[in-house]
Amino acid sequence: MTPTGTDRHTGPQAPAETPAAPRPEPASSAEPGHLPAATAVRLVAGRELRTRVASAGFVVATLVTAAIVAVLALLPGFIGGDDDKTVAAVGLTRSQQQALAEQAGPGVEFTLRAVDDRREARRLLDDGKVAAVADGGGDRVRVTVGQKSDQSLGDTVSARLEQQALADELRRQGADTAAVAEAVRPVAVSFLEDDTGDTQRVVLAYVVSMMLFTQIIGSGGSVAQGVVEEKSTRVVEILLAKVRPTPLLVGKVIGIGAIGLLQLLLVAAVGVGVATAAGTLAIESTLVEVAVASVAWYLLGFVFYGFLYGAVGSMVSRQEDLGGLTVPLQLVNSAALVVAVVGLQDIGAGWLAAIGYVPPFSAIVVPMRMAGGVATTAEVVVPALLLLLASAAVAWLGGIVYNRSILNTGRRVRLRQVLRRA
């Protein structure tokens, strides 16, 4: 019994040592089996691009956003500046019509339209086809303006008719009308600044801030959702057999960021094209500059948020648990948008310029102030450098959290636990 028991004990002992020895080999051989970092990043980013660009969600979102931006691009034409006005002339003398048609002197420019009778002129005014009516059929000329907002037009028409009436009377009295006209010539007015595009710049600044807000928060959310999806389906375990965690996160951020950039470029092209073709902006020369600045600040802002969203996504295993963790990031981004919208009341305010130095608020505030034409070179370069440094720090921290959390499935991983882990 004793030898037999000893044989049975020592018999399995020899084979047990054989598999125990090679057990460390998979761990050591797995390291050389990983793809080079650059190759891994390129493959992961390409995979994100191919799968997401081909999705119906991307196409629909791009078309809807482009349509909204096209409408907004037409908006400044209705907001800034006076449209070409038409004045109906009925019962005016030839000299009075010539005085109105010459468009000489200060005032609102308009087109003169001769009308046969007073009733037709009133119908055109009621229908909004003319902005004012100059009626000379009575004992004196009467000017009727359709909208109170066109009061300056009425003042211009009245002033020119009064000048012509004075000239006619002086001519009847035998006075030198040329000398009198020279004596009463309107005083020349010059302007230190041309603010005709100020309102349009504010609208453009609002559009820029809204576009950057939606693109950054949308692309960041896609990073977090993608990480959770791979983790919940355990696809990440297959990927990590060939790709280290850091290149996997970097590739995902680059791929989704490139998708957001592509979408932003398409939407910006639509906005610039519509505004240029329709001629709705008096500041076309700044459109390309604003578009380029928006792209640059999107990249800076997305790098900051993208790694944070990726880190947050690695801490949970279910999509329903993701919402609570992303709320702080959404609040920070929303706070930046609120600051930008409030700042539109006085886009050149010092407090708004100061907040523009603070990452990540600068990702929305600075390009908005650039679109408004009030940002100095220092107020652009310094915030960009600060945001770049902050993004590098956040990417480093996000990589640590992602590396330590991505393989922890099941319950939610606490940030304190991740940071304490050696």
- pLDDT one-digit tens code per residue, 347-373: 889 999 999 999 999 999 999 998 888
Residue 412 to residue 74: CA distance in whole angstroms: 48
Binning pLDDT at 50, 70 and 90, where does residue 377 land? very high
CB 248 within 8 A of CB 407: no
Domain of 93, in residue numbers: 82-183
Whether residues 169 and 235 share a domain: the answer is no
Output 166 or 28, whichever has higher pLDDT: 166
Which residues sit opposite 134 in a β-bridge?
89, 143
Starting at the edge strand found earlier in the chain, the sheet holding 110-114 runs 110-114, 85-90, 132-135, 142-145
Residues 222 and 289 in one domain: yes
Helix (H) or strand (E) holding 206: helix 198-232
252 and 288 assigned to the same domain:
yes
Angle at the Cα of 214 from the Cα atoms of 267 and 393, rounded to 5 degrees: 115
Strands 85-90 and 132-135: parallel
Note whether residue 193 is domain-resident.
Answer: no
Q: Are residues 271 and 383 in the same domain?
A: yes
pLDDT at 285: 58
Are 342 and 218 part of one and the same domain?
A: yes
pLDDT in tens, 234-262: 899 899 999 999 999 999 999 999 999 99
pTM: predicted TM-score of the whole model, two decimal places: 0.67
Are 134 and 90 spatial neighbours (Cβ–Cβ below 8 Å)?
yes
List the CATH number of the domain containing 142.
Answer: 3.40.190.10
Determine the average pLDDT of the residues in 288-304: 88
